[in-house]
Structure 1
Amino acid sequence: MRTLTVKLYGSDDFGYLSDMINIAGIIYNTALTIIEDHYTETGKLLDKYELQKQLRGLRNVDENRHWRYV
């Protein structure tokens, strides 16, 4: 078996990538919270399309405008 060692060096673009990763994490955690809340209220899993609709609605809120860049 071979292994590959890679070193990553920061650049000006790394800040942008870091921001995108952080925003994606926030969106993922929000989706998990929506799913968990729905399950505790109804005892059923949330449909994928309903989750997308709710996230789309949250994306349009002023405080979540940065979600559009992901």
Structure 2
Amino acid sequence: RCSHDDYSSVMRLAIDTSRYAMQLARYHKLAGPEGLLLLNFDELRSDPQALLQRSARFLGLDDFTFE
């Protein structure tokens, strides 16, 4: 089994060398930094309430309590 750091390194390499990075760059160019919200799965696992509140603010929704 690979460690979290090893997995993160492999995933970063895969993302950096994939079309994902190019597609994000295109969306960033079209929407600008304020029109693009990137979410992190680790943040979802560690603090889902904060991630959902950040998502709601990005979408212009009122904050809510996740239960």
TM over 0.5: no
TM-score (norm 1): 0.29
Look at both structures and tell me which one has the larger radius of gyration over its CA atoms: 1
TM-score relative to the length of structure 2: 0.30
